[in-house]
Structure 1
């Protein structure tokens, strides 16, 4: 049976990758963090932690962010 990567390391890498995709899309749209979290109805600190990869995000929160950025939520989740 193949071994899985350490859960903590894997989760951290995945969260950072999602945050990176959000940041890249936000910058591509020439938007500030503030314009996104306000439009999405997400608290400033929660948004900043999600974009930094420092916090888990609820799928509903990611869906709101994706909608503001004009992408489907799966675009934020895909590698």
Structure 2
């Protein structure tokens, strides 16, 4: 088991990496953000926030993973 760092400065980098993976997969499939947010029953801004690496709910990532037919683990690895 590892200890957490003294601050949370590592979290934004990890969130950005997740967002980049989501964006890359969406683009690989030739989908727009509009197509994804509509299929996932989310707000347009929510998908934008995910791709920017903002703090989002697990349920949001699960919805996007489902729509893109990608295991959630592929995004959070």
Settle same-fold status: TM greater than 0.5. Answer: yes
Question: Tell me, which stretches of 5 or more residues in structure 2 are unaligned?
Answer: none
| TM superposition outliers: structure 1 runs of 4+ over 6 Å | none
TM-score, length of structure 1 as denominator length: 0.86
- Residue correspondences, number: 75
Cα offset for 1:6? 3.5
Find the aligned partners of 1:48 and 1:6 in 2 and give their Cα distance. Answer: 26
Find the aligned partners of 2:38 and 2:30 in 1 and give their Cα distance. Answer: 15
Task: Note the aligned Cα RMSD (angstroms).
Answer: 1.5
TM-score, length of structure 2 as denominator length: 0.88
Residue number in structure 2 paired with 1:76: 75
Report whether the alignment pairs 1:15 with 2:15: yes
Question: Tell me, which stretches of 5 or more residues in structure 1 are unaligned?
Answer: none
